[in-house]
Structure 1
Amino acid sequence: MDNKIFNKLAPELSGNTMSNAGHNYPFILRPLSHKIAEDGDDFRNRMNKLDKEEMEYIFQLAMEGKEDIRSLEEDDVDTVLELIEEKLSTEKLKELKAKLGMA
């Protein structure tokens, strides 16, 4: 699922999940936020491509500490939180914010 989502968010990489340093990206959203998306609007446009199931997967990774939402660019953190609320639920947003110490 990681590769499917990464390819959907960054199709220009043609499935390459390797950083310039030669290792696989440990997260899906951090390289998108810091290296791939041109700006906050580009990040939002890419994230809007995710369906409910894919957002649920990102949410679960974040809840398990396997996706580091807090390390994203500030605007991108806001985007992820807003999309979790829009595509999933206000309850899941509250749950994630509590987990991240953002409540």
Structure 2
Amino acid sequence: MQFFQKWFKHSKKEKLEESSTLNSEIKPSDNWEKIPAYIPADKSDYKKVALIASAIAASDRPNSQFKVKRILKRNPEAITVSLIASSIAAGVYPESQFRVTSIYCKR
């Protein structure tokens, strides 16, 4: 089972599509702070997550060794903000799809 390849192996076609999109990033001023999409997971979750991920990855290569460098989880604040923003936008354009690329918070 090539479970992790779909996440870590990208084709050249995908890279070309990403580079061809227009990047109209707006530089925020100093009083805006970027909210990260992922935050470090709790230390209590490391053992369980590393064991599950290694077991899934080892199904293809049972004689391999795996080292989990870091474990991240979704930021609950970013999830809430992106759900609210996309719900408001879906009310205006119900047939559209939305992707939240970054979230900033005024500090």
Could you say which TM-score interval applies, normalised by the shorter chain? under 0.3
Greater C-alpha Rg: 2
Indicate the structure with greater helix content: 1
Indicate the structure with greater strand content: 2
TM-score, normalization: structure 2?
Answer: 0.23
